[in-house]
Amino acid sequence: MAIRMEEQSLRKSHRISLPAKVIVNGHPYSIRDWSLEGFKAEIPAGIISENWAGHVTFILPLQHMDLSFDAEARLRRQGETSAGFSFDSLPTRSKALLATYIKASIEGHLDDIDGMIARVEASVTPVETDKPLSLGERKQFKRSFLGRSLFYLILGLFSFGIIGFILFMNFSMARSTRGVIAGGLIDVAPELGGFLTEIAVEEGQEIKEGELLFSLDDHDQLGRVEDIRYETTINEEELKYLYVLLQEEIKSMGLYRKAAKHEVEKLRSEMTGLQARIDVAEKEFERADQLIATGAISRSLWDERKELELDLKAQRSTITEQLLLAEENVKSAKDGKYLTDGRTRGEIHELEAKVNIQKKVIEQARLRLSRALATLEKTRVLSKTDGVVYAVKRVPGTFLRPGESVMSTLVTDAKPWVLARFTFEEAERLAPGSPATVYIPSIDQVCQGTVQALGHHAMGSGGVVSQDKEISLSEVPVKVILHDPPANLYPGLGVTVRIDTPWLRSLKALL
């Protein structure tokens, strides 16, 4: 550290050259040297005006922090590169800090300057002492204390009342702000997928049962129907041809049976005549055999009689075989089989089987045609009830998936109901039949109702629009039937639902 005297003894005190900065007019400048009376800063000429006086901030950089204080200073001398200032007024605290800093620098205790500064702060801080209150102050304090006590008492009672009211309201009723008007609104969607070709109605239009709502592209269905019809026609022609063959076969079988019976009768007649001739020939042979022994006839005549007998018996054998065959033909004709003439095929049973099979084929084709026509009919979606078109959601040309909603219709004279959502804790205190109060903000009306169902089964069934099809794992849907609903209710209006619950039983269950 350097301590030096002012040149030519112009200064009243010693100046030191420890690092310091000063902020003048909002700009920081380095300090060449300083003392308790003033300082010299590196401020070039022309920066501040002559006879300048004002507020400065003096900054001393310490080991762990910067020490700063404000003071009033005045310009005393201005050089080319520096300016000298004097302190007009320096607070006692600031003087003590600077003196401690200078002393520490002279004694070489700058490493403990933080502790020294802390002791200086403590020494210059006045200690407040309690003074006894006067009589007036005591009265004022007493009135203030009683007022505050009364205020806190009233505030406590009010808070207790608010808490009690909230607890009573929480246990005496369940309240839901997530309720909507539902019922009577039906989603209309196709059972088939395809391109939407036509929308036959508009929003707000009244519709009747069976009226066309929209149509889908039916090109594929029409092609399938025509293919099945063509196939059915071919099968029917095939059946007709089989009937012709069967009739011809039956006719041929009749003729064959008649011919077979006639052949049997003829052979039996021939057999009877032949048997008579055989009997005569046998008798004549016996007579010839007796006469030849006496020599009454010649050997040649005996041979003739014997030959005639044998010939007739041979003919009988042949006719017997023919008769057996003819009788077999008569039996086989009953089964549609032919064994002899080869003029017919004998396929009556095969033809009957083919006819029955062809009938089944035609039945299946007609069934497929009926299903194809039903599918074709599904490309035209009709209204199932009387009502009003509530909303149209698609435009022609849109590709639809099966079951994708195209529009919603509002059923005429449908009675609306409310679908509200409650927490599990609130739903535990609800039951079907509980009275409910429904407030409808959009029309500013209050309706009375009754809880009909709880749980997800209370949601709208398939095709019926309820709320937003949302199923929440933390809430329970509750269906509320309105007793006398206003005439201007529409699905989707938000409502607030309040359901009275037995608060005492709920409180006991909670405890």
3 state SS for 11-46: CCCCEECCCCEEEECCEEEEEEEECCCEEEECCCCC
At residue 10, the 3 state secondary structure works out as coil
pTM: 0.47
User: Checking phi first, is residue 26 left (phi over 0); if not, alpha (psi -120 to 50) or beta?
Assistant: left
Residue 478 has φ and ψ, to the nearest 5°, of -130, 130
| 381 CB-near residues (< 8 Å, 6+ apart) | 188, 190, 212, 213, 214, 215, 216, 406
Asked if residue 346 lies in contact with residue 192, where contact means CB atoms within 8 angstroms, the answer is no
pLDDT at 377: 92
pLDDT at 122: 52
Q: Tens digits of per-residue pLDDT, 208-259?
A: 999 999 999 999 999 999 999 999 999 999 989 888 888 887 777 777 777 7
Give the CATH superfamily of 3-124.
predicted glycosyltransferase like domains (2.40.10.220)
- How is the chain split into domains, by residue range? 3-124, 141-171, 172-183+415-511, 220-361
CATH T-level topology, domain 220-361: Helix Hairpins (1.10.287)
Give 201-221 as a DSSP string: --TT-EE-TT-EEEEE--HHH
Helices marked H in 185-298: 219-294
* Residues 462, 187: Cα–Cα separation, whole Å: 9
Longest dimension (CA), the chain: 218
Q: Tens digits of per-residue pLDDT, 354-400?
A: 889 999 999 999 999 999 999 999 999 999 888 889 889 999 999 99
pLDDT at 36: 80
pLDDT at 199: 94
* Residues 82, 40: Cα–Cα separation, whole Å: 7
At residue 65, the 3 state secondary structure works out as coil
Give the CATH superfamily of 172-183+415-511.
Efflux pump adaptor protein, beta barrel domain (2.40.30.170)
Asked if residue 467 lies in contact with residue 458, where contact means CB atoms within 8 angstroms, the answer is no
* Residues 95, 87: Cα–Cα separation, whole Å: 11
Asked if residue 207 lies in contact with residue 409, where contact means CB atoms within 8 angstroms, the answer is yes
Residue with tokens 């007022």: 147
In the chain, what is the straight-line distance between the N-terminal and C-terminal CA atoms, in Å? 79
Q: Tens digits of per-residue pLDDT, 5-18?
A: 344 334 445 677 77
* Residues 186, 198: Cα–Cα separation, whole Å: 20
Give, for all 511 residues of the chain, the pLDDT tens digit: 443 434 433 444 567 777 888 898 888 998 888 888 888 988 888 888 888 888 888 888 776 667 787 888 898 888 888 898 988 877 877 777 777 777 777 666 666 555 656 555 555 444 444 456 566 666 776 777 787 788 888 888 888 778 776 666 566 678 888 888 887 788 899 999 999 999 999 998 999 999 999 999 999 999 999 999 999 999 999 989 888 888 887 777 777 777 778 778 888 888 888 888 888 888 888 888 787 777 777 788 888 888 888 888 888 888 888 888 777 777 766 665 554 554 444 577 788 888 899 999 999 999 999 999 999 999 999 998 888 898 899 999 999 999 899 998 888 777 888 888 888 777 777 888 888 999 988 888 898 999 888 877 656 544 444 444 444 557 888 888 888 888 777 788 889 998 877 655 555 545 5
* Residues 97, 121: Cα–Cα separation, whole Å: 8
pLDDT at 186: 85
